Amino acid sequence: MIDIPGTPGTLTGLVLRVSQCVFAAASISYMVTSGGFFSYTSFCYLIAAMGLQVIWSLGLAILDTFALARKKTLVSPVLISLFVVGDWVTATLSLAGASSSAGITVLYFGDLGSCTFEAECWSYG
């Protein structure tokens, strides 16, 4: 079988999963450090979606590490289907959260022209 970069059980796949986990955690930490985001549902949804992304990516990174340590390949059709569906769900949730957060930001800054958070307004403007 052809070794495609990024497939489960390869070093490239492990690097991609760890980077997904790190970037999702960075997104969560940035949102949590800004004040007042809990009052907007779209931002809370983005945090929940990124939390799910961290859990999913960390779980698959552990599975990749186990496969690399045991020198096993993860090419079972059932496993690949599970990875595809899981990645599809987390990608869809992340896209929906990012889109709704961007929509709220555009609504407040562009359309309404007002922002109730003085310090946070200038960091997005």
Show pLDDT as tens, one digit a residue, over the chain (125 residues). Answer: 567 778 888 899 899 999 999 999 998 898 888 777 777 788 888 899 999 999 999 999 999 999 999 988 788 889 889 999 999 999 999 999 889 888 877 777 766 666 665 555 555 54
Residue 125 exposed, middle or buried by CB count within 10 Å (0-12, 13-18, 19+)? exposed
Map residue 75 onto helix, strand or coil.
Answer: coil
